[in-house]
Amino acid sequence: MNLNKNILSLSYLGLIPFYFFAIISIFEDYNFFIDIFFLYSVIIICFLSGSLWMKLMILPKQKNNAFFRILSVTFPLIAMISELFVSYSLKVIIYALIYILIYICDKKTAAHSMPDYIRMRFFLTGNVILTHLILLYTIFTYGIF
């Protein structure tokens, strides 16, 4: 599968809100931008989980398809529950782990049939985790656990 320029552009443009809200939260002394960052992160987790679900329906069946389908439904639920009930610092860790697990699921299910997509996802996942670490720095700097 060769990714066209529109898909690549939209994918990379999706990093802008992560970086914007993570960096601006360093300079602002209130939680509004941190809350927006987390909401955007939950939206992207839901989107990625939905695309994982779709890939599992379209791609040839593999051994772990049922397990990955359960995970693709569970990830957004965990993110939504975390958004409601978990502290900022723990949300960063939970969301970063979810992004890593979604990437692993993508790689296990589509590495052979979609190598370009997996390369792009690796880059994007690394950047998203970096923005979460920037936000974690902000959270500890201002003591807003």
Mean pLDDT for the chain? 89
Q: With contact defined as beta carbons under 8 Å apart, do 129 and 99 qualify? A: yes
- Smallest CA-to-CA distance from 105 within 3, 12, 97 is with 97
Q: Which helix (H) or strand (E) holds 90?
A: helix 88-110
CA 127, CA 44: separation in Å to the nearest integer?
13
How many folded domains does the chain comprise?
A: 1
Q: Read off the pLDDT band of 94 (50, 70, 90).
A: very high
One-letter amino acid for residue 37 of the chain: F
Q: Which has the higher per-residue pLDDT, 145 or 46? A: 46
| Enclosing domain of residue 10 | 5-142
pLDDT above 80: residue 9 = yes
